[in-house]
Chains A and B, each alone.
Chain A
Amino acid sequence: MTDNKHVYRNIFIAAILAMIMASIYMTIGSRGNWSYILSLRGKKLAALTIVSICSTTATILFHTITQNRILTPSIIGMDAIYIFFQTISLFLFGHNHWFLQNTYTNFFLSTVSMTCFSLLLYWFFFKNFPGRIYLLLMTGLILGTFFRSATSFLQVLIDPNEFLILQNRLFASFNNVDSSLINVSMIVVLPVLMYIFYKNKAMDVLHLGRTNAIGLGVNVDRFNLILFISISLLVSISTALVGPVMFLGFLGANVSYKLFKTYQHWLLIIGGCLFTISFVLFGQILIEHVFKFQTALSIILEFVGGSYFLYILLKEKEVA
């Protein structure tokens, strides 16, 4: 395990960094009003952490299944489903309806609709085309495009005032997360994470390719199906909690591959999540105390993540 030494060291550094960021975030400019600060910022801290963990873990798993490091889970079109769902419910019921006012029902139904969509897709493909992951992705992508064009049709028709309400839902925002939703998300996210860590050796084997993995006793198709379900649960929770974030997980996963040069998933996932958390907190501190809320955090995240994607696209030769 000698070659793992620097990996442990790097993860340790990332953990320290994340903790420093978290404590800076909780204390900066507090002016002593602790009970207020702790409940307000603690809520945001929890939301940021959950979203970072969900998106990074989901992306790393996704990369392992597809054996490709430049895709993101959003390619299956789950965010398109979310946007479509939000748009059509606003379009049909108007913003005053209890259905949209109640955060629980909205959260619950958007999670269910996203998960159901991906489950249907997987079920169809694992039944009819076992082992053809790219076919699955392509279909998801096309359906995503279709839902986007349907959404833009509805969005043009919506009353401009209601569109502003919709727009708030469609851009990830960490500022108005409902604290009760955080508990609900934990109930879903924790078991999924525990399962992933329990199975991390099997995921390492997936790197050897389908044939070798089958030879080593992993039921690849079944395992992929379970991993896909975990991914969709993680992505839907994070999307329903704050809105779609596309490139955050991509950034976390790819930095994790660079920093912790290992194939072991549990190290990659822990390290990647720690990095993402520190990065997100850093962004949030910048926005709250330097830019004074002039711009939304998700804009900076998508911008940095997107630029990094373009960089990788043009610089790396061995990405796909």
Chain B
Amino acid sequence: MKRISLSVLFLVSVIISLMVGVENVTFMQLLSPDELTSIILFTLRIPRTVSLLAAGAILSVSGLLMQQMTQNKFVSPTTAGTMSSARLGMILAMVFFGQHTVFHRTLFAFIFSIIGTLVFLQFLKTVKLRNSIMIPMVGLMFGNVVGAIGTFIAYQYDLIQNATAWLQGNVSLVSSQNYKLILLTVPLLILIYLFSQYFSVMNLGREQASGLGVAYQQIELIGIVIVSIATAAVLLTVGNIPFIGLVVPNLLSLRYGDHFRKLLFPTVYFGALFLLWSDIFSRIVIYPYEVPVSLVVGVVGTALFLFLLLKGEKA
């Protein structure tokens, strides 16, 4: 019963996302599209909806995965320098190879996000921190440093407004031409599912996990590479979307507990729906114009995150 209602909710959300926009598509047109409608659907709405679902799912799962690996509830691709490192890679690619080389941009973003995340996790290993809130704070500082380096390189080459435009979380520019990279998230999600038992055990900590026969270092590396590539892929197609990797897994773990494998499906499902609905909202809030989805997620995410942070802290 629950399963059916969840699937219905999902289908209804997807259909609404396909219908809403400057050019409204009615439900009947959706079933028997004329020429104009099918162009709209296939070049814009379907790529957009697919990207939203994929980005929401993979960002939430990446957040969850990082939280498992570091045993810290506040770590996510934004708070571990992954996003800023990918941004630095993109800016460098734009400087070295010009602004139109998608391949180099992608490659550099992948490489840099992996390196950045590795550096940060290396730091977490060497240092014993007194307070768990310190970790995301140091991570954001780290992200700021990497971001500052990127910004200053961009400044030298007058790329700042360009880079800002590239990296802002905005799905209105996604079309059938440029959304294919996001499909990379599907094999990544499958990979995470295949490794999910190992990741679940990692939440027990290094010693316990090694004792249970997990090749800790290798699995950790796999996790980092998956998260980094996923983050970079989202950054390149949709842009930077803050908070979603923090808020969705944390809210769900309030209800479903901390077991990685049990959390995996709900995180994928609700992460995807959360982003989809944020985007539907961003399309109708100042209709016929749009606000970027990152702004909507930013507002909602800030509120939710503060709620999570302050809940239970009240003395």
Give the interface of A toward B (CB within 8 A).
68, 70-72, 74-75, 128-129, 132, 134-135, 137-139, 141-143, 145-146, 149-150, 152-153, 155-156, 158, 160, 163, 167, 171, 246-247, 295-296, 299, 302-303, 306, 309-310, 313-314, 316-317, 319-320
Contact = CB atoms under 8 A, between A and B. Distances in A.
Interface stretch (B58-66, B124-132, B248-256, B263-271): B124-132
Mostly, the A contact residues are helix
A145 B141 CA distance: 12
B302 interface: yes
B123 interface: yes
B177 to A, nearest CB: 20
B119 A314 contact: yes
B140 A68 contact: no
Mostly, the B contact residues are helix
Contacts of A68: 134
A70 B144 CA distance: 13
A314 B313 CA distance: 32
Interface of B: 74, 78, 119, 122-123, 126-131, 133-134, 136-138, 140-142, 144-145, 148-149, 152, 155-156, 160-161, 164-165, 167-170, 240, 242-243, 291-292, 294-295, 298-299, 302, 305-306, 309-310, 313-315
A153 B133 contact: no
A246 B148 contact: yes
Contacts of A317: 126-128
A306 to B, nearest CB: 4
Contacts of A167: 155, 160-161
Contacts of B127: 316-317, 319-320
A138 B129 contact: no
Given A149-B295, A310-B145, A75 B140 contact: yes
B97 to A, nearest CB: 23
B165 A156 contact: yes
21 contacts: A74-B144, A75-B140, A128-B314, A134-B133, A135-B133, A138-B74, A146-B242, A149-B242, A150-B295, A153-B295, A156-B161, A167-B160, A167-B161, A295-B156, A296-B155, A306-B145, A309-B145, A310-B119, A313-B142, A314-B122, A320-B127
Contacts of B136: 138, 141
A263 to B, nearest CB: 19
A203 B170 CA distance: 47
Contact of A155 (B78, B155, B164): B164
A316 to B, nearest CB: 8
B148 A302 contact: yes
A155 B155 CA distance: 15
Contacts of A171: 155
A146 B155 contact: no
Contacts of A299: 152, 155-156
Nearest to A67: B130
B182 to A, nearest CB: 20
Given A145-B78, A313-B123, 6 more contacts: A75-B137, A149-B240, A152-B167, A153-B168, A247-B145, A299-B152
A163 B74 CA distance: 34
Given A138-B309, A145-B242, A70 B298 contact: no
